[in-house]
Amino acid sequence: MLRRKKKMYKLTQHFVTYKKTLFYFLIFCFLVFAGAGCSKSKISYSSGRPIIVCTTTMITDLVQNLAGNHWKIIGIMKPGQDPHIYEPRPSDALFIRKAKIVFENGLHLEGTLKDIISNNLSTGSLRVPLGEDPRIKVHESKKYKGAPDPHVWMNVAYFRIMAEKCLKTLIQMDPKHQKEYEKRGKEYFLKLDKLHKKILKRMSRIPRKRRVLVTTHDAFEYFGEVYDVEVAGLIGISTDQEPRPQDIENLKKLLKSRKIPTVFIETSVNSGLINLMKKIQRELGIQVGPPLFSDSLGDKDSPAPTYLQMMDYNSKVISESLSKA
């Protein structure tokens, strides 16, 4: 009888111990998951700051110049990434859901990312396509009828309009800091105006017959229009296209007939296009100029880590290369 009581006592103790262990385990799990949730919140909101999500590197740079420290700014695309063929990541949807504002280029530049934005934008948040504005005269693709050319930032005056639209949105969403935003905007607009005039002057120095800019894809139509340069690309406005045989032959004829001394490749296009342009260059015995930045800024060690530096660098390289005898 005594043995049976001892046995029952041990079983009871084991059961109590088991319940305590289970209880503490559940509390532990709760704390871990709660902590994980808090951790995500800290990462997303950064001490309570609301989030702005930007699609391209040019837009991220623009917003950083205007928004100051009142927002946590998240750039989806990184330096060197091509927005035409960008493949969305799961984290993109998470950032978009947390964002108060999503700034995009629009004009179909972002490809599949535009659907991610549509499906994840939270109620009350703003989606702002900066490149879609009645003051911007949008071109139609030369090779693909009906497709808008999204590269409006290549005209500095158009990028200023994008900046004005961005500034208006910041003030609308955060009127408390209106004066600071307006001060930042005024300073940035002056820099853009100065750069625009500088490029106009720089490009005017190129002899008229040499003002032909040939690149791997048609990203410079707006640049050519405003800065008075004829432009041609190996492919159309999107890098997800393949060059057609007739496009290659037409480009060769243009290079020969106009005696164009230099062609240019872009940093964000795929290696296939770069290799094809180099093959044409070797075949015709012409030069390949320094690489241009078109659909993406460069990293901090490149000559184009910001929009202002990108446009200054591109115009300098183009002017110097096409002016050579």
Per the model's pLDDT, the better-predicted residue between 32 and 180 turns out to be: 180
Contact call for residues 268 and 295 (beta carbons, < 8 A): yes
Band (pLDDT 50/70/90 cuts) for residue 7 is very low
Contact between residue 79 and residue 299 where contact means Cβ atoms under 8 Å apart: yes
The pLDDT confidence band at residue 218, using thresholds 50, 70 and 90, is confident
Q: Which of 96, 101, 47 is nearest to 76 (CA)?
A: 96
pLDDT at residue 133 above 80?
yes
Per-residue confidence (pLDDT) for residue 234, from 0 to 100: 83
Per-residue pLDDT averaged across 174-178, rounded? Answer: 98
SS3 label, residue 286: coil
What pLDDT is stored for residue 192 in this prediction? Answer: 98
pLDDT digits (tens, 9 = 90+) for 26-70: 333 332 333 333 333 333 344 589 999 999 999 999 999 999 999
- pLDDT-derived band at 267, boundaries 50, 70, 90: confident
Strands (E), the chain: 51-54, 72-75, 99-104, 126-129, 212-217, 230-235, 262-263, 287-288
Residue 144 — pLDDT band, cuts 50, 70, 90? low
**Cβ neighbours for 168, distance < 8 A, ≥ 6 positions apart:** none
Q: What's the token pair of residue 155?
A: 């005209």
To which residue do tokens 């984290």 refer?
91
Q: How distant, in Å, are the alpha carbons of 82, 85, 193, 228, 236 from that of 146?
A: 22, 20, 32, 24, 13
CA-to-CA separations, 138 to 81, 222, 226, in angstroms, rounded: 24, 9, 13
Share of the chain above pLDDT 70, in %: 82
Predicted confidence (pLDDT) per residue in 295-305, tens digit? 999 999 999 99
Confidence of residue 242 (pLDDT cuts 50, 70, 90): confident
Domains and CATH numbers, the chain: 51-200 (3.40.50.1980), 206-323 (3.40.50.1980)
From residue 299, alpha-carbon distances to 89, 155, 222, 254, 307 in Å are 21, 22, 24, 34, 12
Q: What is the pLDDT of residue 89?
A: 95
What mean pLDDT comes out for the span 219-232?
A: 95
pTM (predicted TM-score): 0.82
Which residue in 275, 270, 61 sits closest to 162, CA to CA? 61
